[in-house]
Amino acid sequence: MKRTLFIAVLMTAFNFATMNGQNINEKTLEQRIEAIEDRMAIKNVVDTFSTLADTKEVELQGLLFTEDAKVVNYAEGRPTTTLNGCREIVKAFGDYLATTELTFHQNGQQTVTLDGDRAAAVSYCTVTQILTRDGRRVMLVGAPATWTGL
């Protein structure tokens, strides 16, 4: 058991020590700092997007994305909705948020793959919503959503 755990920890450490198949020690300090800054900027976009959803400021959400941005929602491990481009994202989120009284996002783990001036990210987000159905106020806790192609 201890040997298996040690091997798992060693493999995890090896995975963290490489970036896109390149040993982290082969990158300059400047390149590593730039990668950290890029990852922080992507996290900030996702967190700001979630906060603007909570305040229903969907037009401002659109300013966070490029024209070719992509949002994929998952339920039970399968994609349920794919939104392509900031116009489609703004319309879909605006239409949906209009049906809710309150919305709260809680962002969790995130992985980012950097490739030059492009990046892909997977960010988990659990959404809690308060709305009225059949005259009753209900609370829904949604499946995690992921954002990719940032």
**Could you please report the per-residue DSSP string of the chain?**
-HHHHHHHHHHHHHHHTEETTEEGGGS-HHHHHHHHHHHHHHHHHHHHHHHHHHTT-HHHHHTTS-TT-EEEEEETTEEEEEEESHHHHHHHHHHHHTT-SEEEEEEEEEEEEEETTEEEEEEEEEEEEEEEETTEEEEEEPPPEEEE--
Say what the pLDDT of residue 10 is: 38
Query: How does pLDDT run across 77-118, given as a tens digit for each residue?
Result: 888 889 998 889 899 999 999 999 999 999 999 999 999 989
Backbone angles phi, psi at 68, to 5 degrees: -100, 20
Separation CA 144–CA 126 (nearest Å): 5
Say what the pLDDT of residue 88 is: 92
Residue 44 CB neighbours (<10 A): 11
Query: How does pLDDT run across 22-81, given as a tens digit for each residue?
Result: 566 788 999 999 999 999 999 998 999 899 999 999 999 989 888 888 888 877 788 888
Between CA 25 and CA 33, with CA 30 as vertex, the angle to 5 degrees is: 85
Task: Fill in the amino acid letter for 107.
Answer: N
For strands 70-75 and 145-148, give the pairing. antiparallel
Separation CA 69–CA 40 (nearest Å): 18
Separation CA 16–CA 14 (nearest Å): 5
pTM score over 0.75: no
Q: Domains of the chain by range and CATH? A: 29-148 (3.10.450.50)
21 pLDDT band (50/70/90 cuts)? low
